[in-house]
Amino acid sequence: MKRRDFITVLAGAAIWPRAAEAQKKIPRVAFLTTGSLEMPETRAGLNAFYQGLREHGYIDGQNIIVEVRAANSKVERYPALASELVGLNIDLIVATNSLSARAVQRVTTTIPIVVPVMGDPVGDGLVASLARPGGNITGLTFLGPQLVPKRLALLKEALPAISQIAILWHPGAYGERTMTDMMKEAEEAARTLGVQLRRVAVHGPDEFPRAFSSIAGEHAEALLVFPSPMLYTERRRVVDLATEHRLPIMAMGKEFVQLGGLMSYGADINDFNRRCATYVDKILKGAKPADLPVEQPTKFDLFINLKTAKALGLEIPASLLARADEVIE
């Protein structure tokens, strides 16, 4: 072999692995979220997901492409966004909650769907069972209906004299069975605790002023915020209006308390967005959603804003403060 031909062969051998790597398909993953991308609340969830991807070695724009779509707190946009994403040759869709997952589920039964924040995935018809999802959906659940009685009990313990509690809820936030179970759990707990409930529904942020005026008009002494992707995304407005009407609130996430709400009890929702990247990694490496059990939380945090309590003229029992995971002073 001539020296020139030998050098050509060596050069080709060196180039081939790089060429093969360049031709390797980069996975395309969609992230469908509720709020506007201009909202810090929405960005926090997305950033948590990116953090989870980095922990598994994925960098957006390098070895994975993330297509982000936001409903801008208008959940009626989910079906159109779901159809758009399915048409983009996506390998996997992260639908951040049960409502968006149902919209995607109606469009595709083949593209894997990971849902970081599900209420009751079985009740909502997203999976066959927690242990064996069975279809193209898996993810994490925050145990929506099951924690409602605990939140009411903690609210009553914090404010033993209250007798009227308003519930701010979003009809259709989850499936009919899940929403029915949440309300049933709340009513049964209310009877046990000796309090009356006033249900106030909101379908979107534009209904907040009317809702809070109604709550004030019914002389509610406290507010229980039901789990809802829309209400969670719009938590700043919820807390601001509650503060304006001097309403102590109990919510599902610490983020409400960090903004000035009185109390929260539940799992860390943003951490769910981070941990869902584990499912993304497994599925991209060949696992099937049908075989990946839905993860349930094992830790629930109680947050209390003592500064807010003092501003409202409330004295939280020392025994409850001692049990809190964090007290904001």
Tell me the residue ranges of DSSP E strands in 48-201: 65-70, 92-95, 113-118, 137-141, 164-169, 196-201
321 three-state secondary structure: helix
Strand partners, 224: 167, 250
Mode of pairing for the β-strands spanning 326-328 and 137-141 = unpaired
For the cut 70, the answer to whether the pLDDT of residue 43 exceeds it is yes
For residue 231, how far is the Cα from the chain centroid?
10
Bridge partners, residue 137, by sequence: 113
275 contacts: CB under 8 Å, gap ≥ 6:
52, 116, 140, 295
Residue 300 in tokens: 């629930």
CA dist., res. 304 & res. 306, Å (int): 6
pLDDT in tens, 56-68: 999 999 999 999 9
Confidence check: pLDDT of 127 > 50: yes
Banded model confidence at residue 146, pLDDT cuts 50, 70, 90: confident
Instruction: For residues 96 and 78, give the distance between their C-alpha atoms in angstroms, rounded to a whole number.
Output: 11
Beta bridge partners of 66: 29
Give the pLDDT score at 246: 96
One DSSP character per residue, 83-101 reads HHHHTTT-SEEEE-SHHHH
Distance of CA 31 to the CA centre of its chain: 12
Average pLDDT, whole number, for the chain? 92
Q: Is the pLDDT of residue 14 over 90?
A: no
On the question of pLDDT at 2 being above 70, the answer is no
DSSP reduced 3-state for 212: helix
User: Over the stretch 69-124, which tens digit does the pLDDT of each residue have?
Assistant: 999 989 899 999 999 999 999 999 999 999 999 999 999 999 999 999 998 999 89
Q: Quick: pLDDT tens for 152-211.
A: 999 999 999 999 999 999 998 888 888 999 999 999 999 999 999 999 999 999 999 999
Domains of the chain, first to last: 9-143+269-291 (3.40.50.2300), 145-266+300-328 (3.40.50.2300)
The per-residue pLDDT for range 238-261, each reduced to its tens digit, is 999 999 999 999 999 999 999 999
Angle of the 269-284 helix axis to the 40-55 helix axis, nearest 10: 40
Backbone φ, ψ for residue 247 (5° rounding): -110, 120
3-class state of residue 229 by DSSP: helix
